[in-house]
Chains A and B, each alone.
Chain A
Amino acid sequence: MAGGHGGTSGEWEETGRRRDLRVAAMVRVMVVDDHPMWRDGVARDLAEAGYEVVAAVGEGRQALRVAGAVLPEVVVLDLRLPDMSGAEVAEGLAGMSVPPRVLVLSASAEQDDVLDAVKAGASGYLVKSASREEFLEAVRRTADGDAVFTPGLAGLVLGEYRRLAAQPAPAEGPRLTERETEVLRLVAKGLSYRQIADRLVLSHRTVQNHVQNTLQKLQLHNRVELVRYAIEQGLDAD
């Protein structure tokens, strides 16, 4: 998986260095939400917090077009768009030559959509009802290359691994290590990374890596599946 969503810790460091070179350069953020009031509110919050809002758009296709031009580092993405699903937009963004990190902002009721978007490459998820502080913190962490996991997302990801494990050809699907399962379950139960680190006697960074890995394995699997599907379709077509 090309760069983008964290990668191994080596990749993070590299990304971190790249950012350091820009020194005080502001993080470029794009907001994608079909509701103008909400979009403006989010953009204003981001600007006040010192981010450079490079674009604020209301449609998926437009978002992909504009993203190619303004090259944002972080995209704040609403899942309900008039023309495309959030997962399609996330996938389109992940396929860019310099893929931005995607923070999904959505309503709590759209569980399947959240999971699809995360599998397609989004690296974080926050409910729209989150406070301004929680939101800005999530954007900051996304910009830093961290996965932003709510308890809700941890529950979805655990459920997805279980679903994959229950499928007929289990040897091929991604697996969680015992430690990763343990960490994710604690995230789902609402513990902070700090609390998890204390309870499992791990470093904060290690907890973060475990969480990140669970997401990346899922995204990688998703991509492999997509490629396999494309090949099968292509072969059938010949």
Chain B
Amino acid sequence: MGIERPFWRAIAVFRVASLLYAAVLMAQHRGYAEPLTGWLVIGVMALWTAAAIFAYSVEALRRWPLLVLDLLVAVACLLASPYAQGAQQPGEDTMPVPATWIAGPVLAWAVHGGRRLGTVAAAVVAAADLWLRIHGPDAPVLINGAVLLFMTGVVVGHVARLAKRAEERMQRAVEMEAAQRERDRLARDVHDSVLQVLALARRRGQELGGEAAELGRLAGQQESALRSLFIRPASPLPAGVADLRALLMRYGSDYVTISTPATPLALPGAVAEQTAAAVGAALDNVRAHCGAAARAWVFAESGEGTVTVSVRDEGPGIPAGRLEEAAAAGRLGVSQSIRGRVEGLGGRVSITSVPGEGTEIELTVPA
């Protein structure tokens, strides 16, 4: 995650600056009874500052052991303060030896784990700080430091999390764009080479006839299948709305022609699915009654608040009264399954059939 690096650099700067501040306080303040111990603590802090700056700059080391160690060192330095102060009464302005340096691990936890971990680290350090003050003789219990620590943990954690999330989103957007570009490039390449050859094979096959025609037909099927892979959705539809055209296109083949407008036929998702399923049932019916090689035409158009799909074949047609007969005999034929689906959606079905001239089934569903 590239976005974290500036945070770690900023924390490193803070650690060094707060270390210098602690050293200056130590040098100026003559109030400590045991300056040697004090300088020892400053020495440990300096060593740890160097170690931490290095360790946090290596991504593989930014793990729990480091974070816990960081916090422990800070708390230890804080708790060592009374030994530097010795028996002397601390004045009101006396700071513990590490001073603001103790905020280092709080920042690190917040950047690494967000608001919650920042708060946890702040709680640990603040608890140690308060414990010192409560046990310090006569010193007023100031909670300013604790409040600032919590604020640091929460705010920095929040900002770090936001930044990480923004970076992730950016990353995803870039990946999606790259994927779409790659897809477009593939589509172009496939169009320029494979599809043309398949279309040509199909065409020559048809002319040669016999087995070549069968091969050509297979090439043609692959051509349609490949093409359908590269259809790009023109404009995204709102959630829960489907474009009936896309569902109908799946039925297109050498024998089935699909005609639609150039603009989406937007239907509620479930309505579109059911309508497409009803069209599928009608096409199955064409194959069952007119043979696998029977031609069929599917035509979809939008009306006033409706979408109408017609499925037409040029088979033998349905003799008058046949559908009623079937229903009377308790057979739920295909017309029943189509009617069931469409009327369930609040739509209408009309079946027109002239013996010898084929059948047309027209489905109208509310959009």
- Interface residues of chain A, those whose CB is within 8 Å of chain B, are 34-35, 37-38, 41, 80, 107-109, 111-112, 114-115, 128-129, 131-132, 150-152, 154-156, 158-160, 162-163, 185, 188-191
- Contact partners of B302 in chain A: CB under 8 A: 159, 162
Asked if A129 and B261 sit within 8 Å, CB to CB, the answer is no
Asked if B261 and A155 sit within 8 Å, CB to CB, the answer is yes
Asked if B310 and A37 sit within 8 Å, CB to CB, the answer is no
User: Within the assembled complex, what's the spacing in Å between the Cα atoms of A129 and B202?
Assistant: 8
Asked if A163 and B261 sit within 8 Å, CB to CB, the answer is yes
Asked if B261 and A156 sit within 8 Å, CB to CB, the answer is yes
Distance (whole angstroms) from the CB of B220 to the closest CB of chain A? 6
Asked if A109 and B228 sit within 8 Å, CB to CB, the answer is yes
Return the 6 tightest CB-CB contacts between A and B, nearest first. Answer: A159-B261, A155-B259, A190-B297, A35-B196, A188-B299, A151-B259
Asked if B200 and A132 sit within 8 Å, CB to CB, the answer is no
Partner-binding segment picked from B53-61, B86-94, B203-211: B203-211
User: Within the assembled complex, what's the spacing in Å between the Cα atoms of A231 and B205?
Assistant: 52
Q: Is B10 an interface residue (CB 8 A)?
A: no
Asked if B297 and A109 sit within 8 Å, CB to CB, the answer is no
Asked if B262 and A112 sit within 8 Å, CB to CB, the answer is yes
Distance (whole angstroms) from the CB of B231 to the closest CB of chain A? 5
Q: Is B20 an interface residue (CB 8 A)?
A: no
Asked if B224 and A129 sit within 8 Å, CB to CB, the answer is yes
In the complex, per-residue mask of B236-260: 1 if CB is within 8 Å of any chain A CB, else 0: 0000000000000000101001111
User: Within the assembled complex, what's the spacing in Å between the Cα atoms of A162 and B260?
Assistant: 12
Chain A facing B: main interface SS: helix
What is the chain B residue whose CB lies nearest that of A131?
B206
- Interface residues of chain B, those whose CB is within 8 Å of chain A, are 191-193, 195-197, 199-200, 202-204, 206-207, 220, 223-224, 227-228, 230-231, 234, 252, 254, 257-263, 295-297, 299-302, 310, 312, 360
A112: contacting residue among B204, B234, B296, CB under 8 A: B234
Distance (whole angstroms) from the CB of B193 to the closest CB of chain A? 8
Asked if B258 and A111 sit within 8 Å, CB to CB, the answer is no
User: Within the assembled complex, what's the spacing in Å between the Cα atoms of A158 and B299?
Assistant: 11
Asked if A189 and B297 sit within 8 Å, CB to CB, the answer is yes
Asked if A185 and B299 sit within 8 Å, CB to CB, the answer is yes
Asked if B259 and A160 sit within 8 Å, CB to CB, the answer is no
Asked if B227 and A109 sit within 8 Å, CB to CB, the answer is yes
A37: contacting residue among B197, B220, B262, B263, CB under 8 A: B197
B191: contacting residue among A80, A154, A156, CB under 8 A: A80
Chain B facing A: main interface SS: mixed
What is the chain B residue whose CB lies nearest that of A152?
B259
Asked if A190 and B312 sit within 8 Å, CB to CB, the answer is yes
Distance (whole angstroms) from the CB of B277 to the closest CB of chain A? 21
Asked if A152 and B258 sit within 8 Å, CB to CB, the answer is yes
Known: A41-B203, A109-B227, A129-B202. A115 touches B297 (CB 8 A): no
Q: List 22 A-B contacts (CB under 8 A).
A: A35-B192, A35-B193, A38-B199, A41-B200, A41-B204, A107-B227, A108-B224, A108-B227, A111-B260, A129-B220, A129-B254, A150-B257, A151-B297, A156-B259, A156-B260, A159-B260, A159-B261, A159-B262, A159-B301, A185-B299, A188-B297, A190-B299
Asked if B207 and A132 sit within 8 Å, CB to CB, the answer is yes
What is the chain A residue whose CB lies nearest that of B191?
A80
What is the chain A residue whose CB lies nearest that of B301?
A158
- Contact partners of A191 in chain B: CB under 8 A: 312
User: Within the assembled complex, what's the spacing in Å between the Cα atoms of A27 and B227?
Assistant: 33
- Contact partners of B262 in chain A: CB under 8 A: 111-112, 114-115, 156, 159-160
Asked if A163 and B263 sit within 8 Å, CB to CB, the answer is yes
Asked if B261 and A189 sit within 8 Å, CB to CB, the answer is no
Asked if A131 and B203 sit within 8 Å, CB to CB, the answer is yes
A189: contacting residue among B220, B224, B227, B299, CB under 8 A: B299
User: Within the assembled complex, what's the spacing in Å between the Cα atoms of A190 and B297?
Assistant: 6
Asked if A190 and B261 sit within 8 Å, CB to CB, the answer is no
What is the chain A residue whose CB lies nearest that of B195?
A107
- Contact partners of B195 in chain A: CB under 8 A: 107
Distance (whole angstroms) from the CB of A194 to the closest CB of chain B? 13
Distance (whole angstroms) from the CB of B354 to the closest CB of chain A? 10
Asked if A129 and B360 sit within 8 Å, CB to CB, the answer is no
Tell me which of B193, B230, B231 has the highest count of chain A C-beta atoms within 10 A of its own C-beta: B231
- Contact partners of B254 in chain A: CB under 8 A: 129
Asked if A158 and B261 sit within 8 Å, CB to CB, the answer is yes
Known: A80-B191, A152-B257, A160-B261. A190 touches B200 (CB 8 A): no
- Contact partners of B360 in chain A: CB under 8 A: 189
What is the chain A residue whose CB lies nearest that of B362?
A189
Tell me which of A34, A131, A155, A191 has the highest count of chain B C-beta atoms within 10 A of its own C-beta: A155
Distance (whole angstroms) from the CB of B137 to the closest CB of chain A? 84
User: Within the assembled complex, what's the spacing in Å between the Cα atoms of A105 and B193?
Assistant: 17
Asked if A38 and B299 sit within 8 Å, CB to CB, the answer is no
B259: contacting residue among A34, A37, A41, A154, CB under 8 A: A154
User: Within the assembled complex, what's the spacing in Å between the Cα atoms of A152 and B220?
Assistant: 18
Asked if A155 and B299 sit within 8 Å, CB to CB, the answer is yes
New A-B contacts (11) at CB < 8 Å, excluding given A38-B199, A156-B259, A190-B296: A34-B192, A37-B200, A108-B227, A109-B228, A109-B231, A129-B199, A156-B261, A188-B259, A189-B297, A190-B257, A190-B312
- Contact partners of A163 in chain B: CB under 8 A: 261, 263
User: Within the assembled complex, what's the spacing in Å between the Cα atoms of A37 and B261?
Assistant: 32
User: Within the assembled complex, what's the spacing in Å between the Cα atoms of A132 and B205?
Assistant: 10
